Amino acid sequence: MLLEVRAASVSYKMVRALHRITMEVPAGGIVTIIGANGAGKTTALRAISGLVPLAEGEIVFEGERISGLAPERIAALGIGHVPEGRRVFPDLTVEENLSTGAFLRRDASAVRSDFEAVYSRFPRLAERRRQYARTLSGGEQQMLAIGRALMLRPRMLLLDEPSMGLAPVIVEEIARIIRDISGTGVPVLLVEQNAEMALELADYAYVLETGSVALSGVADELHGDDHVRRAYLGA
């Protein structure tokens, strides 16, 4: 397994946000975490990236324990994180935002070719490369946030609610992009409230309910599961 979360718990003040969750991400494909608002999906990704400390348990990436490391150290191991709400740097240009994504890279010529790769993947970013990120639309900001994470040349990509607040056409485009990225060999851990989209994209899925893993399984099978259909697919 590429990433293993082992019986990990997270508490905010006195409230337990995650309770002994265990999940695995293999070295290829898309794994998704679905669940209602406040189920702990975002917290799970934040724990992997080191933004929140674990109260118990551990997280292991490529056989190495990463829980307890600072976020910048975890990024240096190759975990790219596209945070909830995109979090692009508003007063940096598109190009500067992408540059910060390449902050840890020392291979200048490969970085240059990655710039071109991101621009050809997202032509709308290429058109706006000198614009401040705050002037972009929601969909464009999402693309920029994904592009920024790709500039790290991640060994694994964490995506937090990439469809949030976007028009259906744009959501479709984002879904295509996620499939593309996975196709280039980058494993993806996708957190989504849009369970329909997530289960369609993913190979494997975890269902979080009030901080615990309620259910997990092959995405196609969960798509047919009665409980999942009633609770998350509105069927």
Query: Of the candidates 1, 7, 27, 104, which one interacts with another protein according to CB under 8 A?
Result: 104
Candidates 101, 147, 162, 187; binder of another protein (CB under 8 A) is: 101
C-beta closer to another protein: residue 99 or 212:
99
Among 32, 42, 43, 49, binds another protein (CB under 8 A): 49
User: Of the candidates 1, 12, 28, 103, which one interacts with another protein according to CB under 8 A?
Assistant: 103
Site size toward another protein (CB under 8 A) is 23
* φ/ψ of residue 107, rounded to 5: -90, 85
Q: Does 53 engage in binding with another protein (CB under 8 A)?
A: no
Binding residues among 132-191 for another protein as defined by CB under 8 A:
148, 152
**Is 210 buried (19+), middle (13-18) or exposed (0-12) by CB count in 10 A?**
middle
In sign, the C-alpha dihedral spanning 167, 235, 43, 26 is negative
- Per the CB < 8 A criterion, the answer to whether 84 and 158 are in contact is no
Site string for another protein, 61-100 (x = CB under 8 A): ---------xxx--xx----x-x---xxxxxx---x--xx
Which stretches of the chain bind another protein, using CB under 8 A? Answer: 49, 51, 70-72, 75-76, 81, 83, 87-92, 96, 99-101, 103-104, 148, 152
